[in-house]
Structures are given as structure tokens and as C-alpha cells.
């Protein structure tokens, strides 16, 4: 995919990208560091999400509850070093926006100063005051509804949400209030496809689905799932496009075999001193 002059992806350019108006679906992929962001950008993706899933995909935790704003700042800054063509969205980690609106705005600003161009946070109506305060500080906010991984303990596991009419209605209501509060888009995760479709239909900003069916205005996928780099068995909604983990393991095993067998480094892979130096040292 080319790196040629591509218009920058901005919040205003994304806000109206609804498929029902004929818009091309939005593509969002996570990245947590400079090489990852470079790959995602060169692939022509619209949004690079520096997800709090860095906690499980990179730092080895079971869930996203083990990282704070400083960790996210570190990874947003690394992604920004790639100067991606995509919009950089920084995820607000658990407890960075739960205590007070002032603290939430300050933490959102830290992600912006690290290089994010928008922030994402999880939750429905309970988060409206925080979302409004962040937007008042001129920071664009992406919402996140449905299976919200930061609620894993409250949900009793990573379970598909909004399976009954009451829960689906509550999700629809939350989506409308997030739109009214000014979110420019939101992620819908882990809901039945009919719920993803109903929410997408009901609102005027784009929905970006992950395990939310085919009707969303865009799709997001985790870098490590997409490339086969993770250790977990991927959930049903993952389509794995490569087996980079296996390729990398084979490459490193080949290096180890070459070192142990004495074929690495070769003469061509070594620096050579003058004959005089060789003689003096022998």
C-alpha cells in the first residue's frame, strides 16, 4: 500500500462517515509502539487506536485493569513517533476518568500532549459529565459501548452484552446520549449483530464495531489478533490475516541454530582490520 500524499484523517472528516450516506467503512487498528504504528499507517488504515489492550497484548496482564495514564502516555508517544497518516486515538485507562471530571480532563490532556488527537473512554450515561467536560476542553472524544473490557469484573467476564430487549434498549439510549454529548464516533463491542445495526441506524455519528456485526460504519481489530501475534485463542470475531508469531519464532530459532552451528556470523558479516592490526594482535 502506498505512502503517497493522502489527506490527513481528522475528527471532522470522520464524524459524518456513515455507510448509509455511501461512505466507505472506517478502518481502525490498534498499535502500541512506533513500528506497529508505521505498519498500520503504511497499510492505509484510518485510525490508529493506542488501546489500553496494551495491558494484555504487550505487558502480559490478563486484562486492561493494570495500567495507568503514565503507561498510556508512554505508548501514545511511541506511536506518535511514527507520524502516522491516520488519526491517533489514545485510550483512557481504567481509573483515569472515574474519580472526578477535573482529573479526567487533566488525564485526557496528558494523552493529547503525548501525541493523541482524540481520546476514547468506556461507558454509557454515567460517563456523560466526564465526556462533556473533556469535549469542553476541546478534546475530541470517541465513546465505547457494549462489552467494555474495563468492566470485566462487573460483567463477570468478557461476555456478549445487550442480549435481551431491555439491555439493547438501554444501549440504544446510551448511544443517543453519547452522540448528544458530542462524541464524534464510538466503538460498539461484543453485541449481537442486530443491536449493532439498530444503534448504527439510530445515530448520526459513526459506529466502529468489534464483534458487533456487519452493519457498523467501521470495524476495529487488535494488531496482535489480526497478525497472529497473541498467545490467546482469538475470539470468534477475529479474522487472523497472518501468522507473524509463528514466522518470528521460526526466524529466531534459525538464528539460534546458526549461532550454535558456527555459521553466524560469516566473514561477510564481520568487520575486518588491517593486516598490521592482525599481526600485532596474533
Closest distance between ligand KIV and the C-beta of residue 103, in Å? 21
Size of the residue set binding ligand KIV (CB under 6 A): 10
Which listed residue (51, 84, 140, 146) binds ligand KIV by CB under 6 A?
51
Measured distance CA(113)–CA(152) in Å, rounded: 29
Closest distance between ligand KIV and the C-beta of residue 216, in Å? 12
Tell whether residue 207 is a contact of ligand KIV (CB under 6 A).
no
Residue 276 known to be catalytic: no
In the range 4-33, which residues lie near ligand KIV by CB under 6 A?
Answer: 30
SS3 129: helix
Closest distance between ligand KIV and the C-beta of residue 81, in Å? 20
Q: Are 144 and 114 in contact (CB under 8 A)?
A: no
Closest distance between ligand KIV and the C-beta of residue 30, in Å? 5
Q: Which residue is nearest to ligand KIV (CB)?
A: 51
Number of Cβ atoms within 10 Å of the Cβ of 9: 19
Number of Cβ atoms within 10 Å of the Cβ of 237: 16
Closest distance between ligand KIV and the C-beta of residue 69, in Å? 14
In residues, how long is the chain? 282
Name the phi and psi angles at 80, rounded to 5.
-60, -30
Measured distance CA(131)–CA(78) in Å, rounded: 25
Tell whether residue 53 is a contact of ligand KIV (CB under 6 A).
yes
- Specify the DSSP class assigned to residue 93: P
The mark string for 129-158 relative to ligand KIV (x by CB under 6 A, - otherwise) is: ------------------------------
Tell whether residue 222 is a contact of ligand KIV (CB under 6 A).
yes
Closest distance between ligand KIV and the C-beta of residue 261, in Å? 41
Q: Which stretch binds ligand KIV (CB under 6 A): 10-18, 51-59, 92-100, 238-246?
A: 51-59
Tell whether residue 220 is a contact of ligand KIV (CB under 6 A).
yes
C-alpha torsion 161→184→54→245, nearest 10: 80
| Closest to 89 in 3D by CA, of 61, 112, 64, 119 | 119
Which listed residue (33, 52, 217, 225) binds ligand KIV by CB under 6 A?
52
In the range 173-192, which residues lie near ligand KIV by CB under 6 A?
Answer: 187, 189
Number of Cβ atoms within 10 Å of the Cβ of 268: 6
> Annotated catalytic residue: which of 138, 179, 189, 279?
189
Q: Are 202 and 194 in contact (CB under 8 A)?
A: no
In the range 76-115, which residues lie near ligand KIV by CB under 6 A?
Answer: 91
User: What distance, in Å, lies between the first and last C-alpha atoms of the chain?
Assistant: 53
Q: If residue 76 lies in a helix (H) or strand (E), which one and from where to where?
A: helix 69-80
CA 108, distance to chain mean position in Å, is 16
Tell whether residue 226 is a contact of ligand KIV (CB under 6 A).
no
Catalytic sites, residue numbers:
189
Contacting positions for ligand KIV (CB under 6 A): 30, 51-53, 91, 187, 189, 210, 220, 222
Amino acid at each position: 500500500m502506498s505512502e503517497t500524499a493522502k489527506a490527513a484523517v481528522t475528527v471532522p472528516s470522520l464524524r459524518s462517515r456513515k455507510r448509509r450516506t455511501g461512505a466507505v467503512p472506517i478502518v481502525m487498528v490498534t498499535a502500541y509502539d512506533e513500528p506497529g504504528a508505521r505498519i498500520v499507517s503504511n497499510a492505509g488504515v484510518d485510525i490508529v487506536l493506542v488501546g489500553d489492550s496494551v495491558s494484555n497484548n504487550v505487558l502480559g496482564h490478563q486484562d486492561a485493569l493494570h495500567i495507568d495514564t503514565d503507561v498510556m502516555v508512554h505508548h501514545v508517544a511511541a506511536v506518535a513517533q511514527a507520524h502516522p497518516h491516520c488519526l491517533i486515538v489514545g485510550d483512557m485507562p481504567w481509573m483515569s476518568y472515574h474519580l472526578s471530571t477535573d482529573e479526567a480532563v487533566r488525564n485526557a490532556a496528558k494523552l493529547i500532549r503525548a501525541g493523541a488527537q482524540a481520546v476514547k473512554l468506556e461507558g454509557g450515561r454515567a460517563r456523560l459529565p466526564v465526556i462533556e467536560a473533556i469535549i469542553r476542553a476541546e478534546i475530541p472524544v470517541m465513546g465505547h459501548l457494549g462489552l467494555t473490557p474495563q468492566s470485566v469484573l462487573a460483567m463477570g467476564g468478557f461476555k456478549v452484552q445487550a442480549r435481551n430487549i431491555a439491555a439493547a434498549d438501554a444501549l440504544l439510549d446510551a448511544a443517543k446520549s453519547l452522540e448528544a454529548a458530542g462524541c464524534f464516533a464510538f466503538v460498539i463491542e461484543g453485541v449481537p449483530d442486530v443491536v449493532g445495526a439498530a444503534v448504527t441506524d439510530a445515530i448520526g455519528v459513526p459506529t466502529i464495531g468489534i464483534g458487533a456485526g456487519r452493519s457498523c460504519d467501521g470495524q476495529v481489530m487488535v494488531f496482535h489478533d489480526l497478525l497472529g501475534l497473541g498467545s490467546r485463542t482469538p475470539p470468534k470475531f477475529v479474522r487472523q490475516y497472518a501468522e507473524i508469531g509463528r514466522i518470528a519464532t521460526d526466524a529466531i530459532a534459525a538464528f539460534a541454530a546458526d549461532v550454535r552451528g558456527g555459521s553466524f556470523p560469516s566473514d561477510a558479516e564481520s568487520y575486518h582490520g588491517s593486516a598490521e592490526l592482525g599481526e600485532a594482535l596474533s
